[in-house]
Amino acid sequence: MTIGVTINSLPVINSSTSMYRDFGTSFIFVLIGIILVAVPLLLQRILSPRRKTAEKMSTYECGEDVEGPAWVKFNIRFYVIALIFIIFDVEVVFLFPWAVVYKELGLFAFVEMMIFLGILALGLAYVWRKGDLEWVKYSVPYGRGRYRKLTIIEETPASPAPAPQETAA
């Protein structure tokens, strides 16, 4: 459609040589990063003496004996939060090209993005209202005066050891 604006062609880096220069630089940095980690690890593997004893192999050499595996069940709350995060992450990704072409498209793009954001804000309102953003869930009786019957839902811990959950956050 014609919206009365033409897109000014910006100097786009298109020739592959400059691409290799630009990304080549960052690639070298990545390589250096890998080497800086790998070489010391390799060195210590070669140089350090290794005499395994039962004491040494235990998780805490002078602490409690470990009970059960370190992998515990996470609370499902993490999962919900991660899901919400992905949805809004995708939304933010759409904002990026929008910002780039905003100058050319002007009001039209603004309205478009506002519709897009409005629909997703509805999702945020939904999540908020249903209390999925709260870490500890309160059951707020809907529509009967704010916080009148505020009760904390008794929640049985999902895992035998709830402590590692906190650290994992």
Partner 1 sequence: MGNIQSISYFLPELMVIATVVVALIADLVYSDRNSYKVGYLVIAGLVVASFTLWLSLPEETTPIFLNTIVVDPFSRIFKFVFLLATFIVVLMSMNSDELKGVRTGEYYTLMAAMVLGMSLMASSVDLIMVYLSIEIVSIISFILAGYLRAQVRSNEAALKYVIYGAFSSGLMLYGLSLLYGLTGTTKLFQLSGSISSLGPGSNLTLTVSTILMLAGFGYKVAIVPFHFWTPDVYEGAPTPVTAYLSVAPKAAGFALLIRFFNTLFGTGQPLNSPVWQAMEGVPWQDILMVLAAVTMTVGNLVAIQQKNIKRLLAYSSIAHAGYILMGVPVLSQEGVYAIVFYIIVYLFMQLGAFSLAIVVSNRYGTEIIEEYSGIGWKSPYLGFFMAVFMFSLTGIPPTAGFIGKMYLFAALINGGSQFYWLAIIGVLNSVISLYYYMRVVKVMYFQGGREKDLYVPGGMSAAIVLAMAIPSIYFGVRWSFLADWVNSSLKFFIAGF
Partner 2 sequence: MTGSFFFYFFAAVTLTSALLVVLNRNAVYSAVLLVFCFFSLAVIFLLLEAYFLAILEILIYAGAIMVLFLFVIMLLSLGREKAQEHFRYLQRGLSLFLVIVFFLSVLIIFLSDSGILHQPHGTFTAGGVNALGEALFTKYLLPFEVASLLLLVALIGTVYLAKRKV
Q: Residues in the site for partner 2, rule: CB under 8 A?
A: 1, 3, 7, 10, 12-14, 16, 19-20, 23, 69, 71-74, 76, 78-80, 82-87, 89-91, 93-94, 96-101, 104-105, 108-109, 112, 115-117, 119-120, 122-123, 126-127, 130, 132, 137, 139, 153, 155, 159, 168
Rounded to whole angstroms, the Cα distance separating 123 from 129 reads 10
Contact by Cβ (8 Å): 44, 136 = no
Apex 45 CA angle, 39 and 49, nearest 5: 145
Which partner from the list partner 1, partner 2, none does 141 bind, CB cut-off 5 to 8 Å by kind? partner 1
Rounded to whole angstroms, the Cα distance separating 125 from 84 reads 12
Q: Does 53 bind partner 1 (CB under 8 A)?
A: no
Q: Does 101 bind partner 1 (CB under 8 A)?
A: no
Rounded to whole angstroms, the Cα distance separating 26 from 89 reads 25
Cβ 2 to partner 1, closest distance in Å?
A: 7
